[in-house]
Amino acid sequence: MKLSVKNGLFWGLLLGIIAALLYAPKSGKELRADLKEKIDSVPKNISSLFESIVDLIVSVIDFALDACEEQGSKISQAVSTGVSAAKDKASELKKLATTNSNSK
């Protein structure tokens, strides 16, 4: 008789379950109660995990917004300084051009 992979997995799983039940340190009633308690806690654990993920995402977004605001402020200040420097240079060049045209 040739066993397929599916049959092998099925029989291995079945024998594993039987061995676990035979060598379990608790009675069947205690095992069922523990299993029910763990299964009942899954939605609460998932909810807690989801809340943690949402909190993390909100924190990352807040950090990114603060960083963008700070960089925007720095860029605005740099542009303002550049515009002021350009106006000063333009005024200086106009004076130089006026001085050169008057001296000719």
User: Is residue 20, in this structure, part of any structural domain at all?
Assistant: no
Residue type, 79: V
| Residues written for the chain | 104
Q: Does residue 17 sit within a domain? A: no
Does residue 96 lie in a domain region?
yes
Name every residue whose Cβ is closer than 8 Å to that of residue 24 and which is 6 or more positions away in sequence. 31
Residue 63 lies inside a defined structural domain of this protein: yes
Angle at the Cα of 65 (from 67 to 54), degrees rounded to 5? 125
Q: Say how far apart CA 57 and CA 41 lie, in whole Å.
A: 24
Q: What is the reported pLDDT for 2? A: 63
pLDDT tens per residue across span 5-28: 888 888 899 998 888 877 777 777
Q: Judge whether 50 lies within some domain.
A: yes
Which amino acid is located at 3 in the chain? L
In a domain, 53, yes or no: yes
Give the pLDDT score at 3.
65
Structural domain includes residue 36: yes
Q: Which long-range contacts (CB under 8 A, 24 or more apart) does 59-63 make?
A: none
Cα–Cα distance between 46 and 53 in angstroms, integer? 10
Number of domains in the chain: 1
Q: Which residue has the higher pLDDT, 19 or 84?
A: 84
Q: What is the pLDDT of residues 22-69, one digit of tens each?
A: 777 777 788 788 878 888 888 888 888 999 999 999 999 999 999 999
Domain span at 83: 28-103
Assign 79 a pLDDT band (cuts: 50, 70, 90). very high
Query: What is the value of pTM for the model shown?
Result: 0.46
